[in-house]
């Protein structure tokens, strides 16, 4: 597609549930990133993929968070046993070869109640 697509745009879930957030990057972009943005803050890095592999997952806050990109295009961010503190906007971005300005998606607003 023309841009980075993220689905769903909004997700409300109950504490303790499992959620999956999807990112469809720009075709041909080998680099894909996940960021999390809490209210009133700038985005914070979670994980970076180059192709199919997670080149850097140092930003994942704990082992409840996991992300995959099995075919080197679409990525899924998975959160187990959600907590209220996980509520945030989850942003995905892609770029060619990990360089230069990113193209961000519109984000998924996750609310854990």
Partner 1 sequence: SQQGEEDPQALSIQEGENATMNCSYKTSINNLQWYRQNSGRGLVHLILIRSNEREKHSGRLRVTLDTSKKSSSLLITASRAADTASYFCATDPPGAGSYQLTFGKGTKLSVIP
As measured in angstroms, the least distance from the Cβ of 27 to partner 1 is: 18
The number of helices, as runs of H, and strands, as runs of E, in the chain is 0, 11
Query: With respect to partner 1, which residue has the nearer C-beta, 66 or 104?
Result: 104
As measured in angstroms, the least distance from the Cβ of 84 to partner 1 is: 18
As measured in angstroms, the least distance from the Cβ of 112 to partner 1 is: 17
Residues that bind partner 1 in the complex, under the rule CB under 8 A = 4, 31, 33, 35, 37, 39-45, 48, 55-56, 59, 89, 91, 93, 95, 98-107, 109
Judge if the upstream peptide bond of residue 83 is cis by omega within 30 degrees of 0: no
Query: With respect to partner 1, which residue has the nearer C-beta, 46 or 79?
Result: 46
Query: With respect to partner 1, which residue has the nearer C-beta, 79 or 91?
Result: 91
Tell me which residue of 79, 72, 106 sits closest to 92, measured CA to CA: 106
Query: With respect to partner 1, which residue has the nearer C-beta, 7 or 41?
Result: 41
Rounded Cα distance, 90 and 61, in Å: 13
As measured in angstroms, the least distance from the Cβ of 40 to partner 1 is: 7
∠ CA 94-50-43, nearest 5°, is 45
Q: Are the beta carbons of 1 and 26 closer than 8 angstroms? A: yes
Q: Are the beta carbons of 4 and 21 closer than 8 angstroms? A: no
């Amino acid at each position: 597609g023309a841009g980075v697509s993220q689905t769903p745009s909004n997700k409300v879930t109950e504490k303790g549930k499992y959620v999956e957030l999807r990112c469809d990057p720009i075709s041909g972009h080998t680099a894909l990133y996940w960021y999390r943005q809490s209210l009133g803050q700038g985005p914070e890095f979670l994980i970076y993929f180059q192709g199919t592999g997670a080149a850097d997952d140092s930003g994942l806050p704990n082992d409840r968070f996991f992300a995959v990109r099995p075919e080197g295009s679409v990525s899924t961010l998975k959160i187990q046993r959600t907590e209220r503190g996980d509520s945030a906007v989850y942003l995905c971005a892609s770029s060619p070869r990990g360089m230069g300005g990113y193209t961000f998606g519109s984000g998924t607003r996750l609310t854990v109640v």
